[in-house]
Amino acid sequence: MARNTVYATLENQGFALTHIDDWSADAERGSSGASVIFGAFAGKKGRHVKLRVSCQSAPEGTVITLMQGTSGASGGLIGVRQASALYSDIYNVVSLTFQNAGVLISSGNL
Protein backbone atom coordinates (compact mmCIF):
# COMPACT_ATOMS: atom_id res chain seq x y z
CA MET A 1 0.00 0.00 0.00
CA ALA A 2 2.83 2.44 0.85
CA ARG A 3 4.59 1.69 -2.43
CA ASN A 4 1.44 2.33 -4.44
CA THR A 5 0.79 5.54 -2.52
CA VAL A 6 4.23 6.99 -3.22
CA TYR A 7 4.04 5.93 -6.88
CA ALA A 8 0.60 7.55 -7.28
CA THR A 9 1.80 10.72 -5.55
CA LEU A 10 4.77 11.02 -7.90
CA GLU A 11 2.60 10.36 -10.95
CA ASN A 12 0.20 13.09 -9.78
CA GLN A 13 3.24 15.43 -9.70
CA GLY A 14 3.92 14.68 -13.37
CA PHE A 15 6.53 11.94 -13.00
CA ALA A 16 6.75 8.95 -15.30
CA LEU A 17 7.71 5.75 -13.51
CA THR A 18 10.02 3.05 -14.82
CA HIS A 19 9.76 0.00 -12.60
CA ILE A 20 13.07 -1.66 -11.79
CA ASP A 21 11.59 -4.50 -9.74
CA ASP A 22 8.61 -5.06 -7.44
CA TRP A 23 9.95 -2.64 -4.83
CA SER A 24 11.81 0.10 -6.70
CA ALA A 25 11.39 2.46 -9.62
CA ASP A 26 12.94 5.45 -11.30
CA ALA A 27 10.70 8.52 -11.48
CA GLU A 28 11.47 11.20 -14.09
CA ARG A 29 9.92 14.51 -15.02
CA GLY A 30 10.88 17.24 -17.45
CA SER A 31 13.18 17.24 -20.41
CA SER A 32 16.89 16.51 -20.18
CA GLY A 33 17.29 18.25 -23.56
CA ALA A 34 15.56 21.40 -22.32
CA SER A 35 17.68 21.36 -19.18
CA VAL A 36 20.87 21.21 -21.25
CA ILE A 37 19.79 23.73 -23.91
CA PHE A 38 18.02 26.24 -21.69
CA GLY A 39 19.98 25.68 -18.48
CA ALA A 40 18.56 27.73 -15.63
CA PHE A 41 15.88 29.10 -17.96
CA ALA A 42 14.25 25.65 -18.16
CA GLY A 43 12.65 26.54 -14.82
CA LYS A 44 11.06 24.19 -12.31
CA LYS A 45 8.49 22.76 -14.72
CA GLY A 46 10.89 22.12 -17.59
CA ARG A 47 13.88 21.01 -15.54
CA HIS A 48 14.72 17.34 -15.86
CA VAL A 49 14.66 15.61 -12.51
CA LYS A 50 15.06 11.97 -11.67
CA LEU A 51 14.43 10.12 -8.43
CA ARG A 52 15.10 6.53 -7.43
CA VAL A 53 12.27 5.25 -5.26
CA SER A 54 12.80 2.18 -3.13
CA CYS A 55 10.49 0.50 -0.66
CA GLN A 56 11.70 -1.84 2.06
CA SER A 57 10.12 -3.70 4.89
CA ALA A 58 11.44 -2.96 8.37
CA PRO A 59 10.32 -3.90 11.90
CA GLU A 60 8.81 -0.39 12.28
CA GLY A 61 6.88 -0.69 9.00
CA THR A 62 7.60 0.15 5.39
CA VAL A 63 10.55 2.42 4.66
CA ILE A 64 10.28 4.56 1.53
CA THR A 65 13.52 6.06 0.25
CA LEU A 66 13.69 8.80 -2.38
CA MET A 67 17.16 9.36 -3.80
CA GLN A 68 18.01 12.36 -5.94
CA GLY A 69 19.17 11.28 -9.39
CA THR A 70 20.02 14.61 -11.04
CA SER A 71 21.79 17.68 -9.72
CA GLY A 72 20.61 20.45 -12.05
CA ALA A 73 24.24 21.24 -12.88
CA SER A 74 23.37 21.74 -16.56
CA GLY A 75 21.73 25.00 -15.44
CA GLY A 76 24.78 26.20 -13.53
CA LEU A 77 24.44 27.42 -9.96
CA ILE A 78 20.88 28.62 -10.59
CA GLY A 79 19.96 25.19 -12.01
CA VAL A 80 21.42 23.45 -8.98
CA ARG A 81 19.37 25.71 -6.70
CA GLN A 82 16.23 25.11 -8.77
CA ALA A 83 16.76 21.33 -8.66
CA SER A 84 17.38 21.43 -4.90
CA ALA A 85 14.18 23.43 -4.35
CA LEU A 86 12.28 21.08 -6.63
CA TYR A 87 13.48 18.00 -4.74
CA SER A 88 12.49 19.63 -1.44
CA ASP A 89 9.03 20.32 -2.85
CA ILE A 90 8.67 16.72 -3.98
CA TYR A 91 9.82 15.30 -0.64
CA ASN A 92 7.36 17.59 1.15
CA VAL A 93 4.44 16.52 -1.06
CA VAL A 94 5.21 12.84 -0.45
CA SER A 95 5.62 13.43 3.28
CA LEU A 96 2.33 15.36 3.49
CA THR A 97 0.52 12.61 1.60
CA PHE A 98 1.57 10.07 4.21
CA GLN A 99 0.92 12.48 7.11
CA ASN A 100 -2.59 13.17 5.83
CA ALA A 101 -3.20 9.42 5.60
CA GLY A 102 -2.11 9.17 9.25
CA VAL A 103 0.62 6.63 8.50
CA LEU A 104 3.83 8.67 8.57
CA ILE A 105 6.05 7.85 11.51
CA SER A 106 9.00 10.04 10.55
CA SER A 107 10.61 11.70 7.59
CA GLY A 108 14.18 12.83 7.13
CA ASN A 109 16.10 15.03 4.79
CA LEU A 110 17.16 12.96 1.84
pLDDT in tens, 6-47: 999 999 988 999 999 999 999 988 755 554 555 555 455 656
105 and 61 in contact (C-beta within 8 Å)?
yes
pTM of the entire structure?
0.72
> What is the rounded distance in angstroms from the CA atom of residue 62 to the CA atom of residue 78?
35
pLDDT per position as a tens digit, 53-106:
998 888 877 788 888 776 555 556 666 777 778 888 888 888 898 888 777 666
